[in-house]
Chain A
Amino acid sequence: DVKVTQSSRYLVKRTGEKVFLECVQDMDHENMFWYRQDPGLGLRLIYFSYDVKMKEKGDIPEGYSVSREKKERFSLILESASTNQTSMYLCARSQQGMTFVNGYTFGSGTRLTVV
């Protein structure tokens, strides 16, 4: 089975800290995504990437940046964490051209609390 691994399941950070959320896939798949999930709001797209060093803004990119130096790793960066970034963060991947056959594979999520 394809695996998407998020480095932390739970994370507590202080306001103003720079936070890195790591996501690693074990296949050579091109597309990777970061979503956040909040009660009543569903999954919202933050950033996605369809190749190394490529990135595209999603619906809510403000306060975030991303890094994709290697195909298997897609990092989400909170430049200066704020309490409104307390959320569940989900990473996903899909294979180029195969999204419409297999769908996305998600990581297990990182629940980030900013205090």
Chain B
Amino acid sequence: ILNVEQSPQSLHVQEGDSTNFTCSFPSSNFYALHWYRWETAKSPEALFVMTLNGDEKKKGRISATLNTKEGYSYLYIKGSQPEDSATYLCAFIGRRQAGTALIFGKGTTLSVSS
């Protein structure tokens, strides 16, 4: 089973703080990396789908970078707001698994206090 690691497992920040999370994946077999946001009582929603080394994607205050050679992706949130409180999941699919299914990390749970 391929391993996708996320860190930290959880964190608590104050409103206005900027923060970032890490997702690590097997670098030798990369095909695509997804980020999802999962708010309580809702469905996970896709934030970013990244396929190219050096990719940087942005949606509002949230951005992500991708390094396929070393096998990691960072998710950044600038100026955290209480509505950013959620679990952030990264998911990986390897080239040998293309056409199968995403493998998810355990997630990073963010709590933002006002």
Contact = CB atoms under 8 A, between A and B. Distances in A.
Interface string A67-103: 0000000000000000000000010000000011111
Contacts, number: 57
B43 A107 contact: yes
B25 interface: no
A70 B49 CA distance: 28
A45 B103 contact: yes
Contacts of B45: 106
B43 A109 contact: yes
B43 to A, nearest CB: 4
B101 A58 contact: yes
B32 interface: yes
B66 to A, nearest CB: 13
Interface of B: 1, 31-32, 34, 36, 42-46, 49, 51, 89, 91, 93, 99-107
8 closest cross-chain pairs (CB), A and B: A103-B46, A42-B106, A43-B104, A106-B43, A48-B101, A106-B44, A100-B32, A103-B49
